[in-house]
Structures are given as structure tokens and as C-alpha cells.
Amino acid sequence: MNHLTRRSFVTAAAASVTAFGTLAANPQDAQAQLVYTTSDWNVAAFNKIVHHPARIKQVYDVVAINDGRFLNNIKNSLNGLHFGFGVPVEQIKVVAALHGPANMLNYDDFIWNKYQIGAWLKVEDPATGKPALRNPCFASRTALHYTSHDPNSEASLYEDKSIEALQSRGVTFLSCHTATEEQARVLVQHNNLSADPESIVREMLSHLIPDALSVASMVAAIALLQADGHYTYITV
């Protein structure tokens, strides 16, 4: 890739990042890896998700965090398909495609605390009522220990809306690499950091929540999940 092409990519990315803030001119951005190629990420893992053999496959396109309300929708999909329609658990596959602000839910408490994500995105911790210093949607309130197997009981796995609980039920969470690159640049400005944005990206990717997969581009990933994987599409 020549220098001019890299710069054109940066220009396009800068235009698309307005939802997160305004980017400063930075010579380092011209060398940034804003666009993944197939050798840069785990394409094989993604293709395995695309071609999952389940009969019912659904992808949730999620941009806004909205207190993690979309997690309740995913929980309802799993419960409705299995208990309401009698679909065997092994025949259900749900993917949560998180980009935009929701992409930050793919990162662990270390990232939320170090970069003050709650204050930046105006996300409150329900336990404190203050800007979240931890990922407020990840951990199960029961540490995945339940006292009931009744799907109608709040004490059961089936009413646990945490990311951790949904993952234990087979839901896959995808992170958008493009969003991560853009968000790292906004964090540099928002927190007045001197760090190279690419170093922040590398740090973020080392703190993905367990079993999350970073994909090259979420809008492209969703297209492949639909076209090649025959996933039904829902946005919330």
C-alpha cells in the first residue's frame, strides 16, 4: 500500500468518526492500520461463525449502548426460540455485532477504568450511579451460579442479561476493528493523552473480554453473516 493510499484511508476514517468527536491532524495517523487485510486478523474464526450449522441464526446489529438494553432482546430471543418454539439449544446461534459506542462493551474493566470510558460515553455504573469505571454489562451478578432452573425465575441463567451469561449460552460478541481505531484516536484527544493511538489500539485488543472476536469491519462482517451465513438481521 503506498503512502497516498494510506492517507486516503485516514481521510475517510476521519470523516466517519464524527459520532465520537473531531480528530486532530496527526502525522502518525498516515501510518495507522485503519484497514485490516485478511492476514491481520483471525478470518478463520469468523468464517467458522458464518458457517455455523445451527438451523436458526440471528445477528444483532448494535451501535448504541442504551444501558445494555439490547442484551435483554438477545436473552428474549434465546428463551423464545428454545422454550416458546421448541428449537433445541444446539440449533440456535446468536451473534452480537457491536460497533459505534457499543463496541466499547467488548473491552474489560481495565480499559474502562484507565480511559474513563463511562465519563466519555456518559455510561453510569448501576451499582454506583456514577460514570462507569468498569464494563457495566459484562459480569454476571451471580458469577454464573444460579439457584433455579426455572426460566421464569430471576435466579436462573435464563433471566441473566449479562454478556458473561449470554456467552455461556453460546452468544458470540464481535468487536469492530475500525471502530476501535477511531475510538483510540478520540480517547487521545478526550483525555489529553500523549500516547500514539496505535499503542492504545494494541492495548485495547489485549483487553478484549473473553471469547470476543475483533473483525476487520463490522458493516462488512454483518453483510457476510447475512449473505453467506444466512443469519437473520435485527437492529436494536
DSSP secondary structure letters along 4-29: HHHHHHHHHHHHHGGGT-PPPP-GGG
User: In the predicted model, is pLDDT for residue 27 greater than 90?
Assistant: no
Domain containing 93 — which CATH number? 3.40.1260.10
Domain for residue 88, yes or no?
yes
What is the tens place of the pLDDT at every residue in 204-223? 999 999 999 999 999 999 99
Whether residue 126 is contained in a domain is answered as: yes
Is residue 10 domain-resident?
no
pTM of the shown model: 0.86
What pLDDT does residue 18 have? 35
Least confident of 6-20, 56-70, 92-106, 109-123: 6-20
Contact 93, 170 (CB under 8 A): yes
pLDDT score recorded for residue 32: 63
pLDDT of residue 101: 98
CA atoms of 206 and 68, how far apart (whole Å): 23
- Domain annotation covers residue 22: no
Structural domain contains residue 229: yes
What local confidence, expressed as pLDDT, does residue 99 receive? Answer: 98
25 lies in some domain: no
Cα dist from 108 to 18, 205, 217, 218, whole Å: 24, 10, 21, 20
Q: Is residue 193 part of a domain?
A: yes
What's the angle, vertex CA 90, arms to CA 86 and CA 93, rounded to 5? Answer: 95
Q: 57-102, pLDDT tens digit by residue?
A: 999 999 999 999 999 999 999 999 999 999 999 999 999 999 999 9
Domain that includes residue 82, residue range: 43-235
Domain count, the chain: 1
Q: Does 24 score more than 90 pLDDT? A: no
In a domain? residue 33: no
